[in-house]
Amino acid sequence: MRTFDYSILKKENWDSEILGLVAQIHEYKGRQELYLRQKPEELDKLVELAKIRSTEASNEIEGIRTTNTRLKQLVADKTTPKNRDEEEIMGYRDVLNTIHESYEYIPIRTNYILQLHRDLYQYSEKNIGGSFKSTQNYISAVDGEGHEFVLFTPLTPYETPPAIDAICESYNRVMDAQEVDALVLIPIFIHDFLCIHPFLDGNGRMSRLLTTLLLYRAGYVIGKYISLESKIAGNKGLYYDVLEACQKGWHENEEDSTPFIKYLLRIILAAYRDFEERVDLVGEKLPAVELVRRAIYGKIGKFTKSDIMELCPTIGKTSVESSIKALVDNGALIKHGAGPSTFYTRSDAQ
């Protein structure tokens, strides 16, 4: 039977890759704290963009979508939801805002996790928010012929409440004792949460919200400025592959969580690197076209107008569009396609 005791992790000899990733993140965290003191106003401009990207990406992973215009309106609380997808997007937005604003006051305990799940579904007609699963759920996949099969069987409904209690209690005890680095402990907690799969719906989104909450409480506030969910969504195939690999032997306490630890650490490290790149751009007092020029020369391969807007949060959509046109006209950028499928490449890539 599965047991949860994170104190045994202090005996682990982590490989050089994990130790290297942890050391790099510690270094970036120190520099981020310096930026937060030096450029608070500029960094505020990254916050709203990160909220939009996180809300969009985490729901997109689960197939929950709306238009870009509607998404921005929903996140800014300038409209009301029109359908089930938008109801769930609004719920995610609210929980993310709660974590952003009050993470110091959200302890890692079962009743708080249930309340966050309740708020995730507060606009939804589904009567499942704030309650653990009442029937057995399964993690399934579809084979090449379209047949669904079970990848993993989570804990049963009666095992779920004590299991969530156990991971919260063990996590808090080990964190308080500082026995294991938070950057190793957080991925293991999240992996256990996903294997327990405590809810009938919303497990993936809750896992990403809890990742943000745990990181914030441990002092890693990178998700406030750079969307971690967006980075996960950028290669969700790898996300699912890593989870599947780490589930083998989980019920018997024989799983190898190393691939998931490395996966999440790489996501966090990539976010810190993006943060430093964008801080340099938001701090520059340059004409819009020069900001866009600098942004695109930091990009390799294909990119879209949305990518450039994300890199240049200090200038508006119209300024970005006119700057792109100017750079296309003078030959610095090459435009490909038309309409929603439009993308750009640097001319020096030809």
pTM of the predicted structure, to 2 decimals: 0.87
- Each residue's pLDDT tens digit, 295-350: 888 778 888 887 887 777 777 778 888 999 999 999 889 999 988 889 999 988 76
Q: pLDDT band at 284, cuts 50/70/90? A: low
CATH of domain 13-281: 1.10.3290.10
With contact defined as beta carbons under 8 Å apart, do 79 and 70 qualify?
yes
DSSP helix, strand, coil percent of the chain (3-state; round to 5): 65, 5, 30
- pLDDT in the model for residue 287: 83
pLDDT at 144 over 90: no
Amino acid (1-letter code) at residue 48: E
Q: Give the residues across from 150 on adjacent strands.
A: 140
- pLDDT in the model for residue 180: 96
Report, at the CATH architecture level, how domain 286-349 is classified: Orthogonal Bundle (1.10)
What is the Cα 102 distance to its own chain's centre? Answer: 18
Host H or E run for residue 148: strand 148-152
Instruction: Domain ranges for the chain, please list them.
Output: 13-281, 286-349
- Tell me phi and psi for residue 139, to 5 degrees: -100, 115
Q: pLDDT band at 135, cuts 50/70/90? A: very high
With contact defined as beta carbons under 8 Å apart, do 214 and 190 qualify?
yes
Q: What is the distance between the alpha carbons of residues 85 and 244, in angstroms, rounded to a whole number? A: 27
HSE (CB half, 13 Å, CA atoms) of 108? 28
% of the chain surpassing 90 pLDDT: 61
- Fold match, 13-281 / 286-349: no
Q: What is the distance between the alpha carbons of residues 209 and 271, in angstroms, rounded to a whole number? A: 16
